[in-house]
Amino acid sequence: MENRKIRMGMIGGGKDAFIGAVHRIAANIDGQVEFCCGALSINPETAKESGTMLFLPEDRTYLNYEEMIVQESKLPADKRIDFVTIVTPNFAHFAPAMMALDHGFNVVIEKPITLSLDEAKQLQQKVKETGLTLCLTHTYSGYPMVKQARHMVAAGELGAIRKIMVEYPQGWLSTLTEREGNAGAAWRTDPTKSGKSGAMGDIGTHAAQLAEYISGLKITKLCADLNIVVPGRGLDDDGNMLLKFDNGANGVLVASQIAAGEENALKIRVYGEKGGLEWHQMEPNTLIVKWLNEPAQVYRAGQPYLSDIAKHNTRVPGGHPEGYLEAFANIYRNFVLTLRTKLQGGTPTEAMLDFPNVEDGVRGMAFIENAVASSQSDQKWFDFKI
Amino acid sequence: MENRKIRMGMIGGGKDAFIGAVHRIAANIDGQVEFCCGALSINPETAKESGTMLFLPEDRTYLNYEEMIVQESKLPADKRIDFVTIVTPNFAHFAPAMMALDHGFNVVIEKPITLSLDEAKQLQQKVKETGLTLCLTHTYSGYPMVKQARHMVAAGELGAIRKIMVEYPQGWLSTLTEREGNAGAAWRTDPTKSGKSGAMGDIGTHAAQLAEYISGLKITKLCADLNIVVPGRGLDDDGNMLLKFDNGANGVLVASQIAAGEENALKIRVYGEKGGLEWHQMEPNTLIVKWLNEPAQVYRAGQPYLSDIAKHNTRVPGGHPEGYLEAFANIYRNFVLTLRTKLQGGTPTEAMLDFPNVEDGVRGMAFIENAVASSQSDQKWFDFKI
Amino acid sequence: MENRKIRMGMIGGGKDAFIGAVHRIAANIDGQVEFCCGALSINPETAKESGTMLFLPEDRTYLNYEEMIVQESKLPADKRIDFVTIVTPNFAHFAPAMMALDHGFNVVIEKPITLSLDEAKQLQQKVKETGLTLCLTHTYSGYPMVKQARHMVAAGELGAIRKIMVEYPQGWLSTLTEREGNAGAAWRTDPTKSGKSGAMGDIGTHAAQLAEYISGLKITKLCADLNIVVPGRGLDDDGNMLLKFDNGANGVLVASQIAAGEENALKIRVYGEKGGLEWHQMEPNTLIVKWLNEPAQVYRAGQPYLSDIAKHNTRVPGGHPEGYLEAFANIYRNFVLTLRTKLQGGTPTEAMLDFPNVEDGVRGMAFIENAVASSQSDQKWFDFKI
Amino acid sequence: MENRKIRMGMIGGGKDAFIGAVHRIAANIDGQVEFCCGALSINPETAKESGTMLFLPEDRTYLNYEEMIVQESKLPADKRIDFVTIVTPNFAHFAPAMMALDHGFNVVIEKPITLSLDEAKQLQQKVKETGLTLCLTHTYSGYPMVKQARHMVAAGELGAIRKIMVEYPQGWLSTLTEREGNAGAAWRTDPTKSGKSGAMGDIGTHAAQLAEYISGLKITKLCADLNIVVPGRGLDDDGNMLLKFDNGANGVLVASQIAAGEENALKIRVYGEKGGLEWHQMEPNTLIVKWLNEPAQVYRAGQPYLSDIAKHNTRVPGGHPEGYLEAFANIYRNFVLTLRTKLQGGTPTEAMLDFPNVEDGVRGMAFIENAVASSQSDQKWFDFKI
């Protein structure tokens, strides 16, 4: 492979789309990715205008993803994109992802991976068959202090894990904003576009993935209470859950979009025999480590005493705050390192492969389906089935 | 009634007892209470030594509560105590409280009020019959910013309440400290002395009382998961709970004594249609008030913009932190104001009566019994029965 | 000495006086002090009403301090007070203190000790001559985490101290509140009652005392800029200062009463060769300890890992916040322990003697006079003269 | 002008250079800049390797800046860079900046702008003559909440400003790390490479620029105490300063690199007649706004209630933390918007021109020279001379 950037095409993410812009920034930051083409909107005008704004060549500004995948696959190897990024609403993830894999393109997908567990399993099968790489952007596992937390748990510093408290309160759906022109709210609260669950699918999945990522444990049982709090809404906007993990630890998970006044207050606490960890997404460069009978410690991003994996996912020294976009960029960076290594015929290291993948996607869809089933049941504990 | 202090006798609380000392400080702070006599320990030596240390006269240093109640009731009105404070372990609350009421003494009891719901109901009946006053020291409702929170909810500033998250993590029972000479741990983990529940009875009741106190709502359903996390322990040391309140709001309650590294981290968040409240016991002079689409506000104890009820329960201006002992003292102060008013033939105001009473005690015992029953059941939701 | 409480009389501190009430609470908390008599106001009506409210006997409710000191000195030893507490405005400290010492009474004085350095030196001489004990209530050195900080510095945990940043911003004099009926503001901004300095005398002295107390160093040079920020005010309401300490360390001190929106935000940071300490008065149970190349630590009041001196000045376990009143009470407790030991013919320990005394008072007055002189001078550095 | 990215060449910033990487990330984030060429190191091997790592074409990987400027100026307009970014140590800013301007290139320079005030004035003159744009990367004024603070002060929300406290403590020079292979420390503590001042030049200039940027005021007098705390060091590693501003406000500025345990703890507080502002660089998405007699407010980045200028400098909604790199990128974005507008023949708006420029550079050098002169003088107050 010549010395070059990795080439990206984007599906969805036209002007005014929040998450598409985030993916582009995340891909840009480290100067490792070249943004080559896009099918940026199903509205042709928007697609073209977006392409111009983003300096895409006209002949690679496509009007739909099918055209993009077909045309790109015909380009010579020294021009053709290496991967597609899919940033459409949930219902429009599966088809382009399958088609991209079928045409030999690696894939990045915004979470949740698909509209249903069944689709997720099909994607999993396709990834296996093609040997290509699929990356799922569960952003929060990209933060360096989350990786430090995972490292400390895995190293046994806390002893066996006993309890996990994870919460993700937001307040932006406290009113029926989906009827007041908020496009993001509109599709997220529409079952045909969002899937079986609202809040639990949109942000509860992040919380569950984070809990499993840091603890190294798997949820085995859950007892869910999903609620439609704002009258007239089509999907749950709030939910609480009791959890059991595969080592016997217990947990609580809260995901709410009607917690009025909250921004994006994802927080996790993990308690083991010897101590506990606490991490807040909104102040992400700090990891509080608590000990039995010793002063708590304040671990900070960018410091020399951190683990290699935390350092690998940091760009600037301690005291220079990194944030959400850098966490997102870490996922891209590791995905791109993996791709480059594979393109060069090498084997990616564990640090390179440290990004959410199709297995996380399948687990996330199972989480949603189990949560919805549990919430509708009179039975207390529900096995986590995949 | 002549101009004098209100007179107190104490049952339990000999030297080295944590909570007895706290009650004495709470009674002392405002200079309204005279500590006159005590049956401070079932150990006669300890009782006498404690009496000496506390400057009690020898003839009012009793060796058991029966003697104290009988002797004090024979004293002339201008010497006799006005109330007894009971600070023994849970199992030794009921009998002295009944006897004190029967002999015409008002009562302060450390929570939980009794060993069982049935005992609590008997006490409730006795209070009703005697017309005397019983005060239950649910400390945390004594904090001024908790009262401010209750005031703001009652005034409708948040709109209808939709969600309550309350948690009380401690770490001090992360090991089998009850077998290493920790007396407080020993009786708290012994069902014969503590009652049907450990952590949920000891601190979960505080969390539930706080949630109901601030919100003005009542728990109507719960789904509990109580756990014995440390092997070999006799009672639950950890628990999680889903809640429903009488206006349809949902909630989550966590009480744990195995959250390694946590001190006494009681925290509550209450969300309404228009905004949310957040209060931490460990930084109690701050109440964070969050709004939809407006900056959050930081309400601070001692400030002129607070409600009358918050001001009534504060001693010093803003920026001079008050704490746990002052919150405790507020309960005593209001109880004593009520007593003085009744002794003078008056009617206590609402602000005077703002302390936990026998009804809170009954509700607390019902909470424990419902939680234990729910935890043992396969049924998801359990009605809150009294 | 028989087994009894230590007896206190109070000069000043009638109803509505802020600091008098604080002194009474501080004396009450631990049940070691009996409040026996007072000359509570120069207004006879107020003096009598205050005496009644505070349950003083009529014959020990005096109308002026001279009467109180004379009458009390004639009482038999088993009734006579042990000490007087002087809580009048600054200008009325010196005369009653001298008279009390002359009549054999120990003394507690609210800071600043006198109106001038010269008076302070006379008091110092009188204390020396009489062998009595004088306690100056520099409250902030009473906090347990301040004592922990002092302990850690003295033990060399930070290495040699290099830099101290201390600040005390308040906002309550941001307007001419002294002309709007605020009595506390009125005398504090009146040179005849407050002395040569306003903000620097009222709160700057606390900041300087705290810096010297924690660091164990002495200020040797200063360069002060005192300001009257609010037009029409009679004394400085704001000031900044560069400092040099006796080991060569440098420092900055800020004291302001026009920092609009600040409450009582005293904060200190001390940096040594190996690490730094940070303490905030408004969250006083936390001491942040920072290290070169290691995670910072969060020391918390009431924890077993603290020094003996910190534990000696704490009443409740970690997580049960103590505050301003308890810090104040620590000063009283240590003073009373000292008195009791001396009354019993013993020698007070270092822990008992750990309260500000007449030497601190002299140093505080010298600080004020040096600061005022420096501020008026064109010379950069000013030696700290006593 | 055709629809294209703005083209950048870089001088300095080879592999392992901290600030060069930061500039590239800042330029990359928004996808508006194409990194075309570089003279990345004075070491030819490093220059070539860095060029390869960064995917530069071989023929635009230059071995020195003179070659780069000459060669690029000969390229046709549709290939030639639009601006150079200079990220060498301080002493190597002036010559390439002058040469770039002389050849028609716009310039970005890392601060401080030059080695001396005189050089800065020459650059100022050159910018004026050429009509080109020079951008100085005082990063901290790029944060959205800093812009919000400036907006609120300018709008008079705080009333007239009375006091500014700004501090910038770091701990990384607590030991002689410049002798242990730390290249960044080595040149920063070497007067021939860094200039007349160490800490005050490196970070004190940031603090001063931030104070003036937010307040809209100018420093008119200062009284400085610069210190070499670590024995053997060649330049000040610590300093404190009293300030006066042009409206009569007073201030304190602290800049230290020996505050052991501190990371990059830049913090500013600004007090006016009606309220105060507080901002911490390490938690940059929060601006605390304090009011007289009203609760403080917590303004948060990304919220709808912010000013237009704060929104213009934000990429993601509230609760998704942005950090240092995004603040840096805001400076680049505004610079590039200005360039694009000028290239299109338009007039940049105030929002576009909101980046530090050559005037800030001149003021920064004057600040350094005045601080050094004041520190060496016995005179208390020193006029701020340019």
Q: Is residue A357 part of a domain?
A: no
Whether residue C181 is predicted with pLDDT greater than 90 in this model: the reply is no
Sheet with D33-39: list strands edge to edge. D33-39, D6-11, D83-86, D106-109, D134-136
Whether residue B181 has pLDDT greater than 90:
no
Residues A238, B163: C-beta atoms closer than 8 Å: yes
Q: Is the peptide bond between C57 and the residue preceding it cis, with omega within 30 degrees of 0?
A: no
Query: Token pair of A44, please?
Result: 């042709």
Residues 173-212 of B with CB under 8 A from A: 174-175
**Is A334 inside a domain boundary?**
no
Residue B311 in contact with partner chain D when CB distance is under 8 A: no
Residue A380, CA atoms < 13 Å, CB-side half-sphere = 16
CATH number (domain holding residue C82): 3.40.50.720
- Closest CB to D265: pick one of A21, A170, A319: A319
* Contact (CB, 8 A) for B47 and B61: yes
* Structure token pair of residue B224: 């509990």
CA-based nearest residue in chain A for residue D170:
A319
For B254-313, give the DSSP string.
Answer: EEES--TT--S--EEEEEESSEEEEEETTSTTEEEEEETTEEEEEEETT-TTS-HHHHHT
Cis peptide before A112 (omega within 30 of 0): yes
Q: Which residues of D touch C162 (CB under 8 A)?
A: 229, 238, 258, 260
Cα B20 vs. chain centroid, distance in angstroms?
13
Using CA atoms, how far apart are residues D241 and D227, in angstroms rounded to an integer? 11
Nearest Cα of chain A lies from the Cα of C145 at a distance, in angstroms, of 13
Range of the domain at D96: 6-132
DSSP assignment, residue B203? I
Encoded amino acid at B194, one letter: S
Nearest alpha carbon to residue A210 among A141, A107, A135, A279:
A141
Count up the domains in chain D and report the number: 2
One domain for residues B165 and B96: no
Confidence at residue B345, expressed as pLDDT on a 0 to 100 scale? 96
**SS percent in chain B: helix, strand, coil, step 5:** 40, 20, 40
Helix (H) or strand (E) holding B122: helix B117-130
In terms of domains, do D378 and D254 share one?
yes
Q: How confident is the model at residue B133 (pLDDT cuts 50, 70, 90)?
A: very high
User: Which residues partner with A7 through β-bridges?
Assistant: A34
Note the pLDDT tens digit of each residue in A321-331: 999 999 999 99
pLDDT category at C212 given cuts 50, 70, 90 is very high
* Residue C38: per-residue pLDDT: 97
The CA distance from B132 to D278, in Å, is: 52
CB contact under 8 A, C294 and A300: no
Omega before residue D317 within 30° of 0, cis: no
Statement to judge: residues B102 and B149 lie in one domain: no
- Flag whether D166 is in a domain: yes
Residue D194 pLDDT:
87
Instruction: Say if CB C20 and CB C28 are below 8 A apart.
Output: no
Is C306 contained in some domain? yes
Nearest by Cα to D26 from D330, D320, D313: D330
Q: At what angle do helices C144-154 and C324-343 cross, to 10 degrees?
A: 70
Q: Do residues C39 and C184 both lie within one domain?
A: no
* Whole-number pLDDT of residue C68: 98
State chain D's maximal CA–CA distance in angstroms.
65
Contacts of A378 in chain B (CB under 8 A): 379-381
CA dist C57 → B8, B52, C61, C81 (Å): 20, 25, 6, 14
Angle at B148 between CA B144 and CA B152, to 5 degrees: 170
Domain holding C247: CATH number? 3.30.360.10
Task: Report yes or no: C292 at the A interface, CB cutoff 8 Å.
Answer: no
Please indicate whether, in this complex, the C-beta atoms of C254 and D165 are within 8 angstroms of each other. Answer: yes
Dist CA A148 CA A286 (whole Å): 10
User: Between chains, do D52 and A3 touch, taking CB under 8 Å as contact?
Assistant: yes
D361 vs A278: CA distance, rounded Å = 42
Nearest by Cα to B330 from B311, B349, B344: B311
Q: Is D236 on the interface with C (CB under 8 A)?
A: no
The reply to whether C356 falls in a domain is: no
Task: Give the bridge partners for C219, in sequence order.
Answer: C245
Residues with pLDDT less than 50, chain A:
none
In this complex, is the C-beta atom of C15 within 8 Å of any C-beta atom belonging to chain B?
Answer: no
Helices B144-154 and B324-343 meet at what angle, rounded to 10? 70
Mean pLDDT, chain B, rounded, equals 97
At residue C16, the pLDDT reads 80
Rg (CA), chain B: 21
Chain B contact set for D293 (CB, 8 A): 303-305
Q: Are A298 and C293 an interchain contact pair (Cβ–Cβ within 8 Å)?
A: no
Give a yes or no: residue C266 inside a domain. yes
C108 near C336, Cβ under 8 Å? no
The answer to whether residue B184 scores a pLDDT higher than 90 is no
ipTM: 0.96
Same domain, C219 and C86: no
CB of C323 less than 8 A from some CB of B: yes
- pLDDT tens-digit readout, A174-209: 999 999 888 888 889 998 988 999 999 999 999 999
Given a cut of 90, whether residue C108 has pLDDT beyond it is: yes
* pLDDT computed for residue A17 by the predictor: 81
Q: Which of B286, B269, B46 is nearest to B163 (CA)?
A: B269
pLDDT in tens, A105-122: 999 999 999 999 999 999
Between β-strands D161-169 and D250-256, what pairing exists: parallel, antiparallel or unpaired? parallel
The Cα–Cα gap between B67 and B257 comes to 37
Whether residues C160 and C247 share a domain: the answer is yes
- In the Cβ-directed half-sphere of A131, how many Cα atoms lie within 13 Å? 4
Q: Say if CB B222 and CB B363 are below 8 A apart.
A: no
The residue in chain A having the minimum alpha-carbon distance to the alpha carbon of residue D302 is A263
Strands D250-256 and D238-245: antiparallel
Q: Bridge-partner residues for A84, per DSSP?
A: A9, A107
Q: What are phi and psi of A217, to 5 degrees?
A: -100, 170
Last residue of a domain, one of D132, D151, D176: D132
- Structural domain ending residue among the three candidates B111, B132, B153: B132
Strands (E), chain C: 6-11, 33-39, 83-86, 106-109, 134-136, 161-169, 219-227, 238-245, 250-256, 267-272, 275-280, 286-291, 294-300, 382-383
Indicate if C120 and C171 belong to the same structural domain. no
- C10 touching B, CB under 8 A? no
Q: Does residue A70 share a domain with residue A164? A: no
Residue B69 has pLDDT above 90, yes or no: yes
- Is any Cβ of chain B less than 8 angstroms from the Cβ of A259? yes
One domain for residues B72 and B179: no
pLDDT of residue B194: 87
* DSSP letter assigned to residue C283: S
Cα A165 to the chain's mean position, in Å? 19
Give the rounded percent of residues in chain C with a pLDDT score beyond 90. Answer: 94
In a domain, A160, yes or no: yes
| Neighbors of chain D with 3 or more C-beta pairs under 8 Å | A, B, C
**Peptide bond before A321: cis, by omega within 30 degrees of 0?**
no
Angle between helices D324-343 and D18-28 in degrees, nearest 10: 60
Considering the domain architecture, whether residues D125 and D38 belong to the same structural domain is answered as: yes
Assess contact for D40 and D20: CB atoms under 8 A: yes
Most D CBs within 10 Å, among C153, C167, C229, C270, to test the D interface: C229
Q: CB distance from D282 to chain C under 8 Å?
A: no
Asked if B221 reaches chain C (Cβ–Cβ under 8 Å), the answer is no
Of D184, D189, D169, residue with least CA distance to D232: D189
Q: Residue B300 and residue D305: Cβ atoms within 8 Å?
A: no
> CB of D10 within 8 A of CB of D23?
yes
For chain D, residues with pLDDT lower than 50 are: none
Q: Which two tokens stand for residue B166?
A: 């309350």
Residues C373, C273 share a domain = yes
Cα angle D216-D217-D223, degrees, rounded to a multiple of 5: 145
Pair (A101, A170) in one structural domain: no
Asked if residue D337 is part of any domain, the answer here is no
What is the token pair recorded at D107? Answer: 């310039």
Residue at which a domain ends, from C132, C154, C180: C132
Note whether C12 and C93 are within 8 A (CB).
Answer: no
